[in-house]
Amino acid sequence: MCLAIPARIVTIEGSIAQVDMMGNERLVSIDLVPEVGIGEYVLVHAGFAISIIDDESARETEELLLEVANAYEEGE
């Protein structure tokens, strides 16, 4: 199973973007979505931004991921 995490583009330098991924900053390749702009959301998998998504989809996905993480912690 693959999992892509939503991330907001913070800066872009060439084909590398710094993203904010639920409070964690990472560097990712934007080779697959060269048209992305600062402030937009992308789905990130294995260090690559694989698609651009809207703000609402990004927030919904983040909320679901937090719910799963919280359920896991409660079950330990």
Q: What is the CATH number of the domain that holds 17?
A: 2.30.30.140
User: Is pLDDT of 60 > 80?
Assistant: yes
Mean pLDDT value across residues 31-41: 98
Sorting pLDDT into bands at 50, 70 and 90, what band is 1?
low
Q: Domain tally for the chain?
A: 1
What are the CA-CA distances from residue 31 to residues 9, 42, 71 (Å)?
A: 14, 12, 35
**pTM: predicted TM-score of the whole model, two decimal places:** 0.87
Report the relative pairing of strands 41-45 and 5-13 from DSSP bridges.
antiparallel
Q: Residue 47 belongs to what domain range?
A: 5-75
β-partners of residue 27 are 18
Q: If you ran DSSP here, which 8-state letter would residue 63 be given? A: H
Distance (Å, whole) CA 54 – CA 70: 25
